Amino acid sequence: AVKPLYGERWHMFDIENVALSQRRIAIASALKKAIEFDQLSLFFQPQIYLNTGKVHGAEALLRWEHPQLGNVPPDLFIPIAESSGIISDLTEWVITQALQYQKKMTVLLPQHIVSINISAKDLLRKDLPVLFITLLNEYELNPANIMLELTESATLFEGVDIKNALNDYRLIGVKIAIDDFGTGYSSLAYLSKMGFDEIKIDKQFVMNIEYSKNDQTICRATCDIAKSLGSYVVAEGVEDSQSMAKLQSYGCEVGQGYFFSRPLPFENYMQWLGANLENTTVFVNDLGKVV
Ligand code: C2E
Ligand code: MG
Ligand code: MG
Ligand code: MG
């Protein structure tokens, strides 16, 4: 073995950094071709009204399967897409697909709500509201059944422009949610200023709610604040019936998580929806298990 030299750590550190940035560049260039090569798909994860057990709708979640890289998780490629500008094409693709699918989902459930993740960067585009208007007309969809999920980010927190951008969407009639609430840059002042239709509690506060007093406090307080501000609450990361019951007791309206179902390919989601339309409190989850 080579004797370590002074500075070798830094040398190693640099190599790792180079490797990381090269990997990001490689992912970005592969991602540029993902639409063209048909490597993207939208999965849907059910959202359930906790009081009645009825289906509220589904969140559309992007999936990318690359022939060599395999399934690349969105937590990895979305930030790369955002910093490399590829996000605008991805967002357009996601919106177009999601609204096309929503047309089919509303055949089964007319009041079905589809939630779409939007990057804060997308909000600064003037052409996206136009795309929404076009697609809503084309598919004859109710804009009130479209929910845009915004993740708290530095851009989002910059404020004024975003508030204006949200007004464009409000005029169209689509609804706005703040995603991953409590984990990002948001403040309570921001919540009050923006008037979100929906607040999504991040799964990090939900997944251990059964055991963590602190997480219980945070979830309860978020539900109270949301209620006072006139928003409704969706909890993501609901993995068992005990967590569901806790959230319900705090007044959380809607739950989403592996307890109900994992995100599913569109055809499987349609099957799930068909099987759970009439349910009140009994679910057949994606493993075929009655819960
Ligand atoms: P998100 O919007 O907060 O989505 C919820 C994430 O939690 C999803 O991860 C979902 O699969 C996961 N999840 C839901 N329930 C449970 C549960 O019970 N247990 C566990 N362990 N996880 C659960 P996913 O699909 O990997 O997406 C990660 C993030 O990537 C999303 O977080 C969102 O920020 C981003 N993303 C996904 N699709 C899109 C998209 O189309 N556009 C944009 N801009 N971002 C997207
Ligand atoms: Mg989301
Ligand atoms: Mg979320
Ligand atoms: Mg989250």
Q: Which residue has the tokens 């600064």?
A: 124
* Ligand closest to the CA atom of residue 75: 1
User: Near ion ligand 4, which residues have CB within 5 Å?
Assistant: 180, 202
Q: Is 184 in the pocket of ligand 1 (CB under 6 A)?
A: no
Residues 67, 62: Cα–Cα separation, whole Å = 17
Sign of CA dihedral 106, 291, 63, 222: positive
Q: Is 71 in the pocket of ligand 1 (CB under 6 A)?
A: no
As given in the structure block, the two tokens for residue 246 are 């806790």
**Cβ distance 253 to 50 under 8 Å?**
yes
| 259 CA: nearest ligand 1 atom | 18
Residue 268 alpha carbon to ligand 3 centre in Å: 22
**Quick one: which of 215, 224, 253 has its CA closest to 52?**
253
Residues 144, 20: Cα–Cα separation, whole Å = 42
Looking at residue 99, its pLDDT comes to 98
Q: How far are the Cα atoms of 104, 260, 276 from residue 290, in angstroms, in the given order? A: 25, 10, 11
Looking at residue 179, its pLDDT comes to 92
Residues 271, 65: Cα–Cα separation, whole Å = 23
Residues 280, 243: Cα–Cα separation, whole Å = 18
Residues 270, 47: Cα–Cα separation, whole Å = 13
Q: Is 92 in the pocket of ligand 1 (CB under 6 A)?
A: no
Three-state secondary structure string covering 60-104: EEEEEEECCCEEECHHHHHHHHHHHCCHHHHHHHHHHHHHHHHHH
Residues 11, 17: Cα–Cα separation, whole Å = 10
Looking at residue 2, its pLDDT comes to 45
User: Near ion ligand 3, which residues have CB within 5 Å?
Assistant: 179-180, 200, 236
Looking at residue 21, its pLDDT comes to 84
Angle 160-172/127-138 helices, nearest 10 degrees? 20
pLDDT beneath 50, residues of the chain? 1-10, 13
* Whether the complex's predicted ipTM surpasses the cut of 0.90: yes
Ligand 1 pocket mutation pick from 117, 205, 266 by most atoms within 8 angstroms of CB:
117
| 149 CA: nearest ligand 1 atom | 2
Q: Residue 5 carries which DSSP code?
A: P
**Quick one: which of 260, 233, 261, 259 has its CA closest to 247?**
233
- Which residue puts its alpha carbon closest to atom 22 of ligand 1? 237
Looking at residue 288, its pLDDT comes to 52
Residues 93, 116: Cα–Cα separation, whole Å = 11
